[in-house]
Structure 1
Amino acid sequence: MTDLALPPSRRPFVEVTGLRFRPWSILWIVLTAVLMQLLLVPGRAAGAWLYKHNIELFQHQIWVFVALATLFQIITGLVALAVMRRVLPQADNHLRWPPGRTYAGLSIAVGAAMGLIMLVADYWPQLLAHTAPDGGYDITSAGAIAGWLGVMAAAGPNEEIIFRGLLVGMLAVLVPGRLRIGRLDLPVAAYVVALLFGLAHYDSFLHNPLNLAIAQQIYAFAWGLTYVWLMERSRSLLAPMIAHGLGDAVEVGIVMLLMAAWG
């Protein structure tokens, strides 16, 4: 009896299928990491430059810098998807309206749960002490609050276009194969990009408490897998965009409420 004929109850807990790992597979993974930086860093730098040279116009609102960086990164991500379509046409970027179920309801529930988990993971010392989290968000005006919530929600389209649409789509072709852990069955590319997604938040170690930085690495990896799970089931980026953007907005929204209540 072959492994494929084994009943589900007798299948190994961890199983790799279809993986063709060649010597240059490492090179593709390294190039994927480099491409991630090439897509993220210039957009952030362009946003910072434009913000600093028009700081009075933007009234010193930090969320405007985040919005500018997000806009530039979305543009570079879409350009990269267009290039991938020409260079690697067999890669699926999932940038389409869901052909079947949208999974919007599930995405909303997942995003809300993510926001609460991130809140506890990031700010549990403040929550236990009933002290206001130091999120650095401006809550002095309705415009600033709306701006921060907006840019947090925009992280969904921004990062899902780059990480799941482009990087997973590309790497799934260049390093094919699937890894099943228990009932979670995803492309090997999903796990690689989930690790990169965590590493993309490396600057948290430079600016935040160690417990917060470590927590971000852990849940960023878990969320990265969840987004691919949603993407594969809906065959679209819409569901992970919703979950991702809502999760970030929920956490920041609650932090701002606690800053107002406990500050």
Structure 2
Amino acid sequence: MTDAAPTPRPLFQISGVTAGPLRTVLALILAAVIMQFSLIPGRELARWLYTSVLGLGQSEHVGLFVFLAIMFQAVTALIGVVVLKRVLPQADAHVRWPPARSYVGLAVVIGLAMGLIMLAADYWPELLAGTAPDGGYSTALLPAFEWLLAMITTGLAEETLFRGVMVGMLVVLIPGRVRLGTFEISLAGVLVAVLFGLAHYDAFLHNPLHLAIAQQIYAFVWGVTYVWLMERSKSLVAPIVAHGIGNVTEVGLIMVLMIVWA
């Protein structure tokens, strides 16, 4: 007598992979090159405008420099979207308003949770000691506003580049799905989440090792979450919202603690 019971699905599964190792490596190298050629020009153009045109140099308006870099990087990412559609027409960068459910409400909740987790991961020694975190932010009105503006708009650049251009491209070049329990996203989304974490490598240059490792871990988890929001909503709006809310929540709370615990 045969057992007709269905075979249970494994907890973790990678399926639909058709790209060989060489194609995968070459596609990832291409994605890394695109990442650098999108981020560096925008940052350097912002540096030139900030120092040579505005003449701010080492002033306390660093948040303005970060905001300018984000805006220029958003432009280079959008140029990447246009090029992607011409070179790889079947790629979907998800640069559209959500066609159905937006997931924006969930994105706000996720962003708030991300901000709290990042605050705890980055500054737990100070939080336990009840001392003001040294985030390097000015609490003066205008510089603080510039930092918060930069943080809330971060996703305009990073989500358009990482999730729109890079995931959109790699879904075509490296097809496949990754599932953990009921959570499932594209293999490309997981790979770009790794690159997203590596893009924050400077954490190892400025922070203690344990904090840098924690930042790499949550950067990867956030990257996976952003892809899930994009795939569910079929749009970049939700991941842009979650990204911005997460960053502005952490930085805003740091500023509050710098004032309260100063």
Tell me what 1:39 maps to.
38
For 2:14, the equivalent position in structure 1 comes to 16
Identify the residue that residue 132 of structure 2 maps to in structure 1: 132
Judge conservation of contact 2:70–2:156 (CA < 8 Å) in 1.
no
Partners of 1:32 and 1:167 within 8 A in 2: yes
The count of corresponding residues between Structure 1 and Structure 2 is 256
What's the CA shift for 1:210? Answer: 2.4
Give, as a single letter, the amino acid of the residue that structure 1 aligns with 2:163: R
Q: Deviations over 1:154-185 (max 9, x none)?
A: 10111100000010000000001111122221
* CA contact 1:122–1:211 (8 Å) conserved in 2: no
Give distance in 1, aligned partners of 2:173 and 2:119. Answer: 36
- Render the CA deviation track for 1:17-57: whole Å, top value 9, x for unaligned: 21112232211111111211111112112212221214545
The residue that corresponds to 2:203 in the other structure is: 204
The runs of 5 or more residues in structure 1 that have no matched partner are none
Distance in 1, Cα, partners of 2:189 & 2:96: 19
**For residues 57 and 206 of structure 1, do their structure 2 counterparts lie closer, same or farther at Cα, with a shift above 3 Å needed?**
closer
CA distance, structure 2, for counterparts of residue 114 and residue 24 of structure 1:
34
Farther off after superposition, 227-236 or 13-22 = 13-22
Question: Segments of 4+ in structure 1 off by > 3 A?
Answer: 54-60
Name 1:48's counterpart in structure 2: 47
Q: CA deviation at 1:256?
A: 0.2
Matched, 1:155 2:157: no
Q: Look up the match of 1:244.
A: 243
Query: Which residue in 2 is equivalent to 1:193?
Result: 192
Residue 60 (structure 1) shift: 4.2
Q: Is 2:173 the partner of 1:174?
A: yes
- Give 3-state SS (helix, strand or coil) of 2:248's partner: helix
Cα distance in 2 between the residues matched to 1:181 and 1:240: 20
TM-score by length of 2: 0.94
TM-score by length of 1: 0.93
1:209: Cα distance to partner?
2.7
Equivalent position of 1:230 in the other structure: 229
Q: Secondary structure at the match of 2:153?
A: helix
Q: Determine the structure 2 residue equivalent to 1:108.
A: 108
- Structure 2: any 5+ residue segments left out of the alignment? none
Q: Distance in 1 between matches of 2:44 and 2:212?
A: 22
